Amino acid sequence: MVKYVQEKANTLMQPNLSINDLKKLPVPKVCDDQQKKLVESATNLRKRVFDLIEQYQSTMQDLDDLRQSLLQKAFAGELT
């Protein structure tokens, strides 16, 4: 597909493809089993990303709580 685009967009400055070139652009079809695997992988990756975001936010809250606690103890003279 990249080769097709490079062959059709052969200008010196800004490469352009005509509407006819785009209509003729070969688009590979992925079989159903591969599509299902890709969707499953993307779904699992999305879940992992959201889990990491949640873990990050929790850690940031814990660090903020610790900072507040340390500041409170420091101003109360409880740190040695």
Statement to judge: residues 12 and 46 lie in one domain: no
CB atoms within 10 A of CB 45: 10
Between CA 28 and CA 2 the distance in angstroms is 12
Statement to judge: residues 1 and 17 lie in one domain: yes
Statement to judge: residues 60 and 35 lie in one domain: yes
pLDDT on residue 67: 97
Mean pLDDT by 10 residues, the chain (80 residues): 69 68 84 95 98 98 97 90
Alpha carbon 26 to its chain's center: 27
pLDDT on residue 26: 83
Statement to judge: residues 38 and 8 lie in one domain: no
pLDDT on residue 74: 93
Q: Does the pTM exceed 0.75?
A: no
Statement to judge: residues 37 and 25 lie in one domain: no
Q: In this structure, are residues 30 and 39 in contact, taking their beta carbons and an 8 Å threshold?
A: no
Between CA 47 and CA 52 the distance in angstroms is 9
Number of domains in the chain: 2
Domain that holds residue 8: 1-29
pLDDT on residue 31: 93
